[in-house]
């Protein structure tokens, strides 16, 4: 075979590899658009690059400039990489893509720390991932001696990054927005607490309980996050109830009970102009519906009750039972759990009660009784709910 034939074969092989890689980039774009959170987005990106370069090692790091380190994201327990004097750190500082054809000959490369463990890597393509004009992440693709790095590999990596960084910006913007609304929600929940000392922390606890239950139930990250906001806001309608009724130690009259039972609808009325919270309305409005259909405000039954409302109903009831009231002592956790089980299928969704119980057993749910217990962790637990 002539040298010309070898060159033609080499070009054909490169074109074939590039065609396959471009096809994988299309798959990567689809995978990124399916991400349910920023964490999930970055995880999908790292996994997708492993498909673009089969057999490659992928290292994705977040830049922590204050600490002076790169924090590996896709490998649990990996050591931080110093910004100063490392291959990945230099790329972050210089803010340009780098191709290294011989890692052994690169004095900045820290073997055993910068690349994924398990293989001896020969070459690498390293690129910054910019967000708002400055690199916030670094991604590196490491190859073994069986597949040398090419200039086209850096181009492919840059194309992959162009798919990623607009989505990072979107998720970061959404996280900022969620953080702002959480602050507002906590303030509103605090206003409810201020009117009723027996309900201090109730919104925060219901929010935490609901998120733990939803997690055990296998719901997606975004849903869990939104359910947490619904938990914080589920009782803000109590702000519209006169204190003479809200704090009455005696049995309520039928008219007073009617006013109290209006609080889920009042809660929604308070926030109905906030479009961002629209997907929380159903969970808030219907958290006092009963699985049997005997609840309020609309007498919904079974799975016609929105899933979020069914979760909030269980969490709300448990926190109410394990919290003291002017007319009774707090129930023990075990008695409250037993009460949930006794009312399964009538007041509560059986599947949600099961998920709640599992969350409690796995210590994802911390009741008032635990918060007030005389144990070494009590003071730390209280901080989470202040």
Residue 135 has pLDDT above 70, yes or no: yes
Structure tokens at 354: 């099961």
| Mean model confidence pLDDT for the chain | 82
Residue 228 lies in a domain: yes
Q: Considering its fold, how many domains does the chain have in total?
A: 2
Residue 83 lies in a domain: yes
- Mean pLDDT score, 240-249: 82
Q: Which residue has the higher pLDDT, 164 or 318?
A: 318
Domain boundary among 126, 154, 171: 171
**Under a CB-based contact definition with an 8 Å cutoff, are residues 201 and 367 in contact?**
no
Lowest pLDDT segment from 8-12, 233-237, 315-319, 329-333: 8-12
Rounded to a whole number of angstroms, the distance between the first and last alpha carbons of the chain is 77
Most confident of 12-16, 154-158, 296-300: 296-300
* 273 plus 154 within the same structural domain: no
Q: Which residue has the higher pLDDT, 92 or 13?
A: 92
Residue 316 lies in a domain: yes
Q: What is the pLDDT of residue 325?
A: 72
Structure tokens at 152: 């086209």
- Mean pLDDT score, 287-302: 95
Q: What is the pLDDT of residue 176?
A: 66
* 126 plus 204 within the same structural domain: no
Residue 184 lies in a domain: no
Give percent of the chain with pLDDT exceeding 70: 83
Most confident of 91-95, 103-107, 159-163, 306-310: 306-310
**Under a CB-based contact definition with an 8 Å cutoff, are residues 202 and 233 in contact?**
no
Residue 89 lies in a domain: yes
* 147 plus 258 within the same structural domain: no
Confidence label for 14 from pLDDT (cuts 50, 70 and 90): very low
Range of the domain at 77: 3-171
* 279 plus 320 within the same structural domain: yes
Q: Which residue has the higher pLDDT, 76 or 238?
A: 238
Residue 190 lies in a domain: no
* 203 plus 110 within the same structural domain: no
Which DSSP string do the residues of 9-20 spell out, in sequence order? HHHHHHHHHHHH
* 104 plus 202 within the same structural domain: no
Residue 100 lies in a domain: yes
| CATH number of the structural domain spanning residue 141 | 3.30.450.40
| CATH number of the structural domain spanning residue 321 | 1.10.3210.10
**Under a CB-based contact definition with an 8 Å cutoff, are residues 158 and 127 in contact?**
yes
- Mean pLDDT score, 66-83: 84
**Residue keyed to tokens 């008695």:** 335
Q: What is the pLDDT of residue 197?
A: 66
* CB environment 315-351: b (16+ within 10 A), e (fewer): bbbbbbbbbeeeeeebbebeebbebbeebbeebbbee
Residue 337 has pLDDT above 90, yes or no: yes
Q: What is the pLDDT of residue 383?
A: 34
* 138 plus 202 within the same structural domain: no
Residue 183 lies in a domain: no
* 223 plus 366 within the same structural domain: yes
Lowest pLDDT segment from 147-151, 157-161, 167-171, 210-214: 147-151
Rounded to whole angstroms, how far apart are CA atoms 193 and 173? 30
Confidence label for 181 from pLDDT (cuts 50, 70 and 90): low
- Mean pLDDT score, 298-321: 95
210 SS3 class: helix
**Strand 123-131 to 134-143 pairing:** antiparallel
Residue 17 has pLDDT above 60, yes or no: no
Rounded to whole angstroms, how far apart are CA atoms 195 and 238? 9
* 211 plus 129 within the same structural domain: no
What is the SS3 string spanning 371-384? Answer: HCCCCCCHHHHHHC
**Under a CB-based contact definition with an 8 Å cutoff, are residues 165 and 32 in contact?**
no
Residue 315 has pLDDT above 90, yes or no: yes
* 227 plus 128 within the same structural domain: no
* 162 plus 14 within the same structural domain: yes
Give percent of the chain with pLDDT exceeding 90: 40
* 141 plus 45 within the same structural domain: yes
Most confident of 14-28, 32-46, 178-192, 347-361: 347-361
């Amino acid at each position: 075979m002539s040298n010309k034939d070898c060159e033609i074969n080499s070009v054909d092989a490169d074109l074939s590899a590039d065609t396959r890689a471009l096809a994988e980039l299309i798959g990567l774009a689809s995978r990124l658009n399916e991400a349910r959170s920023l964490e999930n987005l970055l995880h999908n990106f790292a996994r997708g690059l492993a498909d673009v370069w089969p057999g490659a090692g992928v290292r994705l790091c977040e830049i922590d400039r204050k600490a002076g380190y790169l924090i590996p994201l896709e490998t649990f327990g990996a050591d931080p990489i110093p910004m100063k004097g490392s291959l990945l750190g230099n790329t972050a500082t210089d803010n340009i893509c780098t191709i290294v054809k011989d890692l052994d000959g690169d004095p900045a490369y820290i073997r055993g720390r910068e690349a994924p463990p398990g293989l001896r890597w020969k070459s690498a393509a390293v690129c910054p991932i910019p967000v708002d004009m400055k690199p916030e992440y670094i991604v590196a693709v490491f190859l073994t001696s069986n597949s040398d790095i090419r200039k086209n590999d850096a181009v492919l990596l840059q194309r992959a990054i162009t798919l990623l960084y607009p989505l990072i910006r979107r998720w970061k913007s959404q996280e900022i927005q969620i953080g702002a609304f959480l602050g507002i929600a906590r303030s509103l929940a605090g206003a409810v607490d201020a009117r009723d000392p027996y309900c201090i922390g109730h919104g925060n606890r219901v929010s935490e309980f609901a998120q733990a239950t939803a997690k055990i139930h296998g719901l997606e990250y975004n849903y869990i996050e939104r359910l947490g906001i619904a938990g914080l806001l589920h009782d803000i309608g109590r702000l519209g109830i006169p204190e003479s009724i809200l704090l009455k130690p005696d049995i309520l009259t039928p008219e007073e009970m009617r006013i109290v039972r209006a609080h889920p609808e009042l809660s929604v009325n308070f926030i109905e102009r906030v479009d961002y919270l629209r997907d929380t309305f159903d969970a808030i409005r219907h958290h006092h519906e009963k699985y049997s259909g005997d609840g309020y405000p609309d007498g919904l039954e079974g799975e016609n009750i929105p899933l979020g409302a069914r979760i909030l109903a269980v969490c709300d009831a448990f926190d109410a039972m394990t919290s003291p009231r002017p007319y009774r002592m707090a129930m023990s956790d075990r008695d409250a759990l037993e009460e949930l089980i006794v009312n399964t299928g009538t007041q509560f969704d059986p599947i949600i009660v099961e998920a709640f119980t599992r969350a409690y057993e796995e210590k994802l749910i911390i009741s008032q009784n635990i918060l007030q217990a005389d144990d070494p962790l009590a003071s730390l637990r209280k901080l989470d709910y202040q």
